Amino acid sequence: MVVRGRWPRAVFYDSKTTLFDWGWSWASAADAIVRKYGSTVDTAKFRATWVRFFESHHRRTAFSQYTPVTQTVTEALLDTFSVLRIAGSADDVRAYTDLQRDVGLFPETEAALQSQQDLGVKILIYSDVEREFLDLYVSKFRRFKADFIGSTEQPRIHKPNPLTYQWVLESNGLKARDVLYCAAPGFDVQGAMSAGLIAAWLRRPADGLLSSQAPSAKGIPADYEIESLHDVTSILRANRA
């Protein structure tokens, strides 16, 4: 899909697994927990089970009462311990939370976002994680400064509920037609499309964490499928001529 003219006015980004390597913290936490309990369970299996429970719990919260992501991560961890017969506790979630300060940028993130901003568009960053963690991630930028940084903790509506994307648009005085949305998690792209946004699905290498499944809204693919954040820059250059 190609939209000609001075479009878009803004690029609206998911944060974790799109701009920041959130999956690293899960992999490292899973490894630490398995080693702590001397479990014979393979680390990859532990993480996959933990992630599966997290996805299940988290998506339910999108259309019910807001639940902090850390609470959902903890509930998923307890389910994982139960299924894999490991005598862990809720305190073990610290293996995950303590790593959030070290979640870094993907290699191309800062350069790509700065190039896009230099083309005259606003850059919006929005996340399901609590604002305290999002601020830690964003602090890794050396020079780039986003035009908007927000967390679902503010409207208390999780993705992929279309209302949460609408809250970001209204907070920035934008209409869906003004904005290009970009995310790696397929369900996130679906939510944005349901809110009327033109969307780009970023095909990050599958890491077992929210980014391996293609988006589909009743069989409708994303408007763009891209391999790198630099591809967003190319879309902007093609459309803002």
Domains within the chain, CATH numbers bracketed: 10-21+104-239 (3.40.50.1000), 23-101 (1.10.150)
Long-range contact list for 45-49, CB < 8 A, 24+ apart?
A: 45/84, 46/80, 46/84, 47/208, 47/209, 48/208, 49/80, 49/83, 49/84
Q: How far from each other are the two terminal CA atoms of the chain, in whole angstroms? A: 16
Position 208 scores a pLDDT of 54
Mean pLDDT by 10-residue block, N- to C-terminus, for the chain (241 residues)?
Answer: 70 96 94 92 92 89 91 97 95 97 96 97 97 97 98 95 97 96 93 96 73 58 94 94 67
Q: What is the pLDDT of residue 214?
A: 59
**Cα–Cα separations (whole angstroms), residue 58 to 15, 55, 183:** 16, 5, 17
In three-state secondary structure terms, 69 is helix
In three-state secondary structure terms, 14 is strand
Cβ contact 66:158 at 8 Å:
yes
The pLDDT, as a whole number, for residue 176 is 96
pTM, two decimal places: 0.92
Rounded to whole angstroms, how far apart are CA atoms 200 and 241?
19
Inter-residue contact 37 to 206 (CB < 8 Å) = no
Distance CA 39, CA 80 (A): 13
Q: Give pLDDT, residue 69.
A: 94
**Residues ≥6 apart with Cβ < 8 Å to 82:** none
